[in-house]
Structure 1
Amino acid sequence: MRPWFLLAVSALLLGGCAHPWNTVNVAPGTPREQVIAQAGPPVAIVALPGGGQRLQYSLQPLGQYAFMVDVDPAGRVVGSRQVLTELEFQRIEPDRWTLQDVLREFGPPARVDGVSSFHGQVLTYRWRDRANADMFYWVYVDPQGVVRRAHPGMEQRNDSDPRTR
């Protein structure tokens, strides 16, 4: 059998599997159960103000995408979107947002660290900017759970192979 044929068949089979990418552009009105059947179980389900739920499909810690599918109280999709973007991160309001707001809007971070210059947690999200560059977005949360600052930064890789630079 030819290798290209096996590759094509494998791609078709994998295309039908449950995966978070299947939440991209899911049609409003789609039943919640259909989303889960297409995308698999979410990493988290978060209650939304006003009654619905948010199904969170995050590819963190290694991936650079997180998809949120909002469902109304009747169990129908209201909308879906990829949230690890510059425009979405710009919505964060230091001194107003809380840790719960960040986790509701962006899902679990890739990492949670601390730094000596800040008393609290630093949440790290991995994402790609408009130029497709590997990026970090850091959200600093104080011990009371309030966001104090947030900003992007370049993700630097230490590759020893000069061909990958």
Structure 2
Amino acid sequence: MGAAALALLLGCASAGRMPLGTTDAAVKAQLGSPTSRTTVPEGERWLYSQLPSGSEAHALSFDAAGRLVRIEQVLTAAAFEALLPGQLTEAQALDRFGPPLRVERVARFDGDVWTYRFKVVNDLRLAHLHFDRQRVLRQMLYTDELPLLADPRD
């Protein structure tokens, strides 16, 4: 793993432990630039994602004065289970969860499937969000992420 990738992974791991009240400048100095930034009525929401290597993405909410007021781990079973087909667009998914682990197509669906990795206790799971050609969520499926097995030739 390269130094930049390691720094990113370590930075994301500590995003969930930033003290409330920290200024946005101090957060950026410690964690670097966020994966994404969104303006919200209260101020700004910064997302620090561990994907594609990890299974967490932390949303840090700042008030209008630039102070950290809330931290939320957004890649959770509850967050995905709360999604309703027809009520989420690709743009909203990017704002809420950040970029997916991968985007692909499957034979029996006319659109893109966005896959996110998350944990349930210590088990890695995958949420597959199916977006139609209008970029609207139509269905979701869940699978287990199987661990990589050692090469039997070793």
User: Percent of counterpart pairs with the same letter?
Assistant: 34
The corresponding residue for 1:153 is: 143
Q: Judge conservation of contact 2:90–2:137 (CA < 8 Å) in 1.
A: yes
Q: Structure 1 residue 33: deviation in Å?
A: 0.8
Distance 1:158 1:31, change over 3 A: closer
Structure 1 runs of 4+ aligned residues shifted over 6 Å read none
Q: Choose from 130, 135, 139 the match for 1:140.
A: 130
Q: Judge conservation of contact 2:42–2:62 (CA < 8 Å) in 1.
A: no
Q: Deviations over 1:11-68 (max 9, x none)?
A: xxx9xxx7122221433322111111221211111222x2522111111112111111
Q: Choose from 128, 150, 156 the match for 2:119.
A: 128
2:83 is aligned with 1:92: yes
| Match runs of 1:2-151 below 5 Å | 19-48=11-40, 50-130=41-121, 132-151=122-141
| Number of residues of Structure 1 aligned to a counterpart in Structure 2 | 145
Q: Structure 1 residue 69: deviation in Å?
A: 0.5
- CA distance in structure 1 between the partners assigned to 2:13 and 2:146 by the alignment: 26
Q: Judge conservation of contact 1:20–1:40 (CA < 8 Å) in 2.
A: no
* TM-score of the pair, normalised by structure 1: 0.79
Q: Structure 1 residue 91: deviation in Å?
A: 2.0
Distance 1:121 1:161, change over 3 A: same
CA RMSD between the two structures: 2.1
Q: Structure 1 residue 161: deviation in Å?
A: 5.0
- CA distance in structure 2 between the partners assigned to 1:91 and 1:101 by the alignment: 14
- Give the number of the structure whose alpha-carbon radius of gyration is greater: 1
Q: Judge conservation of contact 1:112–1:124 (CA < 8 Å) in 2.
A: yes
Q: Judge conservation of contact 2:58–2:74 (CA < 8 Å) in 1.
A: yes
The corresponding residue for 1:9 is: none
Gaps of 5+ in 2: 1-5
* TM-score of the pair, normalised by structure 2: 0.84
Q: Deviations over 1:93-132 (max 9, x none)?
A: 21111112211111111101111111111100111112x1
- CA distance in structure 1 between the partners assigned to 2:22 and 2:148 by the alignment: 44
